[in-house]
Amino acid sequence: MSTDRAYSLSLALPDWAAALEDTPRRCAGDLDRMRFVIDLARRNVETGSGGPFGAAIFSRPDGRLLALGVNSVLRLKSSLLHAEMHAILRAQARLGRHGLRAPDVPEYELFASCEPCAMCLGGILWSGVRRLVCAAPSASARAIGFDEGPVDAASYDYLVGAGIEVVRSVLAEEATAVIQRYAALGGTIYNG
């Protein structure tokens, strides 16, 4: 009866990022994990593979990298492929399950090089991660023309109420510098 077009959304990483994800790694603490994520954002800008945002999901107890994401809106032609969504989708694909919170897996945490937009905050809420750690403030993204959507203190409170620990402003200046570098290079503001 049906010819279902059977669309799929590619979640492919740029080659340089795939090589990073393919290398087993553990990042010991918050600073190491955030440095890794800011480096993703920086390479995404410098190689021209996307916007100035990176994210990664780590096993909380031992810092093992589960999956990473980089802003891929233009590269993969999807307005939903912000770095956080990219990392969540790759993590769920890797585990073959719709949520990252289950008795038989470790707790997972998401590191983001910039505070998430409204969509990503909601996506994080449903993802099953137990902790969110952010670097640059939303204001840094807004300052170069990106829209962040309806996000306020109550948005973060909601995550906390759902049992997700939230930590903000970890290495914020380094992450903001990457965002400013993108603007200086004339990077596309795809949803201003």
Judged by the rule CB under 8 A, the positions of this chain that interact with its own copies are 1-13, 15, 18-19, 21-22, 73-74, 76-80, 85, 88-90, 92-94, 96-99, 117-123, 125-128, 147, 149-150, 152, 154-155, 157-158, 162, 190-191
In the residue annotation, 115 being an active-site residue is answered as no
CB nearer to its own copies: pick between 31 and 93: 93
Q: How far is the CB of 31 from its own copies (least distance, A)?
A: 27
Rg from Cα positions in the chain: 16
Q: How far is the CB of 35 from its own copies (least distance, A)?
A: 21
Region for residue 77 given its phi and psi (left: phi exceeds 0; alpha: psi -120 to 50; beta: otherwise): left
> Choosing from 84, 109, 115, 148, which is the catalytic residue?
84
Cβ burial, residue 66 (10 Å; 0-12/13-18/19+): buried
Note whether 112 and 135 are within 8 A (CB): yes
Query: Which H or E run contains 16?
Result: helix 15-22
Q: How far is the CB of 168 from its own copies (least distance, A)?
A: 16
CB nearer to its own copies: pick between 63 and 122: 122
CB nearer to its own copies: pick between 22 and 28: 22
Cross-strand bridge partners of residue 109: 58, 131
Q: How far is the CB of 56 from its own copies (least distance, A)?
A: 15
Torsional sign, CA 89, 90, 95, 100: negative
Active site residues per annotation? 84
